[in-house]
Structure 1
Amino acid sequence: MQPLSLPSVYPLIDPAPHFSAKTFASKVVLVTGASRGIGLSIAQHFARAGSSLALVARNHALLESVKAGIEADVPGAQVLTFALDVRDTAQVEAAVAGTVKHFGRLDVLVANAGVGRGFGTRLAEVDPNLWWDTIEINLRGVYNFVHFAVPHLRKSSGYLIAISSAAGHVRVPTVSDYAISKHALDRLVEFVPIEYPEVTSFAVHPGSVATDMTANSTTPISFDTKIELSAATLLHLAAGKADWLNGRYVSAQWDLGEVEQKHKAAIVAKNALVQKLALP
């Protein structure tokens, strides 16, 4: 499958209709890693589409700045913030419980928080604690939120969207910690609808977006994807526009209309876009 690789928003996923119709007006969305970059853009898009927000990041001051910005941009927006470490199970449990206590429900979990710290160093030469820390944040950090959010997402027939990476499907030197964490993350996402059919889940590659993290990348990639493409794709998915991709890997750089029109039959028949061994 070679669907078009897109750098910016295209008509099918244009967020403007969601903004004008307030598609998510009755929905509660929790976004991790929401203080900057892709997570910030995602939070802004869901707010403009009418959702109530719970925003998670480590830096309290940055979170409060994001909250103030969203409230200024969207008058009447309801925003909670939780400054925490996604690896801390007790803090995560408290954030999910606090969100549900305040808003009464949870409809969408966007697990965006992640790091890439070992870029440029081979696996036997990188600090082993740094290498494992990447796995902890990128995998355990997502699992912690999934663990505590799933019971609430089952009640709302909600959505789990985990921000993955195309790096999980390639083997290039000096990114083993990041690539392995994203590879495992994709598999975690697959298990959610298998064990909890009420929840729809996606592992989403956001595209090659220039962020603080990618500034340290040693891979020969042009980070030219517009950040709005990632957020618009998530709105489209969380609005129930592509539920047939449930439990699968999705790239924001694909034209999802083209994927459905040209490749849906083969993807479903072959149970494709999931982690598995296959003969050529």
Structure 2
Amino acid sequence: MSVPPEDLPVTHHHDVYPAIDPIAHFQNQTYKGKVVLITGSSRGIGQEVALFYARAGATVVLVARQQSTLDAVRDVIVKEVPTATLASFVADVTKTTQVQAAVEGAVKKFGKLDIVLANAGTINEMKKPFTENDPDEWWNTIEVNVRGVYNVAHYALPHLDKTSGYFLITSSVAAQFRFPNSSAYQLSKHAVGRLNEFIKLEHPKVKTIAVHPGGIMTKLADLVPEIHQLLVDTLQLPAATILQLTSGKYDWFSGRFVSSNWDLGEVESQFKEKILAEDALVSRLAIPQA
């Protein structure tokens, strides 16, 4: 990337801020009539994003591996949004037939897809070099984080083409770094960033964005004590960011990496022209100048 995300000279936020304040979307029911499908929606970031879209009037399709956890999320959403229209499908994102059934089930029930968030993922412990880890556990991280996104994209993108919709990937700022003992996670997040770029090329009608959600103490992140001091952001930050990114105002980010910590208003006013001119916020080799 031409500008490392941690160095982008804009205000960095850890909670909802004015440029992404979701209150107007909630009050105006901005997403009424939109169908939103979210994988990994049984807890944490996925659950909060689902709640935000429901509060903004969207029809929300929840996808996760267990019906019991999906039912629990449904209860949370209905308690806050009694009029919410919801559906849930059990699917392991690494299983193509299960993902296909979930996507086609959502389209059959609601007629279309407007927004899809590929949020399901996993993280590996940062304790040993990859040659000292169980190779099957290492590969499982790749499988979930890469194939899990690919499977959702494979079946959802043809439907998003029809609505000129949005495809979002829960990425990570870790995609831009190389830390010892975290090769599986960082490699997988880097790979889905490149997949995001291919989606833009092959499905130009779809707005596609790889989003770093911030540093959040989720159940998965709790398994990696080495990063706990970095986990200072709220769940509401990525939820409000994603809501804003699919509002139509930031479609120029399509095919790029975006951090929820960046002040989007400042990025647009100060860097939009430069980002577009230099085709920045994508992965490429840095060539030294003569």
Q: Report how far residue 119 of structure 1 moved.
A: 2.6
Among 28, 33, 36, the residue aligned to 1:29: 36
Q: Report how far residue 220 of structure 1 moved.
A: 6.6
* 1:249 matches 2:263: no
- Tell me, in whole angstroms, the C-alpha distance in 2 between the residues paired with 1:221 and 1:167: 15
Q: Tell me the number of residue pairs that the alignment of Structure 1 and Structure 2 aligns.
A: 280
- Tell me, in whole angstroms, the C-alpha distance in 2 between the residues paired with 1:20 and 1:269: 36
Uncovered stretches (5+) of structure 2, i.e. residues with no partner:
1-7
* 1:229 matches 2:237: yes
Q: Which runs of 4+ in 1 moved over 3 A?
A: none
State the partner residue of 1:177. 184
Superposed CA offset, 1:147-196 (max 9, x none): 00001100111000100000011011111100000000000011112111
Among 39, 51, 58, the residue aligned to 1:44: 51
State the partner residue of 2:5. none
* 1:87 matches 2:94: yes
Uncovered stretches (5+) of structure 1, i.e. residues with no partner:
none
Superposed CA offset, 1:83-115 (max 9, x none): 221100001000000000000110000010000
Alignment of 1:114-153 (within 5 A): 114-153=121-160
Contact 2:44 2:218 in 1 (8 A): yes
Alignment of 1:252-263 (within 5 A): 252-263=260-271
SS at match of 1:124: helix
- Tell me, in whole angstroms, the C-alpha distance in 1 between the residues paired with 2:227 and 2:57: 38
Contact 1:35 1:56 in 2 (8 A): yes
* 1:5 matches 2:19: no
CA RMSD of aligned residues (A): 1.0
Contact 1:118 1:178 in 2 (8 A): no
Letter in 1 for 2:188: S
* 1:273 matches 2:278: no
Letter in 2 for 1:103: F
Contact 1:30 1:53 in 2 (8 A): yes
Return the TM-score normalized by structure 1. 0.98
Superposed CA offset, 1:200-248 (max 9, x none): 0000000011111111222474210111010000000111121111100
- Tell me, in whole angstroms, the C-alpha distance in 2 between the residues paired with 1:61 and 1:219: 30
Among 191, 200, 213, the residue aligned to 1:193: 200
Letter in 1 for 2:201: I
State the partner residue of 1:206. 213
Contact 2:217 2:228 in 1 (8 A): no
- Give the fraction of aligned pairs with identical amino acids, expressed as a percent: 47
- Tell me, in whole angstroms, the C-alpha distance in 2 between the residues paired with 1:37 and 1:141: 18
Q: Report how far residue 121 of structure 1 moved.
A: 2.1
SS at match of 1:86: coil
Return the TM-score normalized by structure 2. 0.94
Larger CA deviation: 117-126 vs 228-237: 117-126
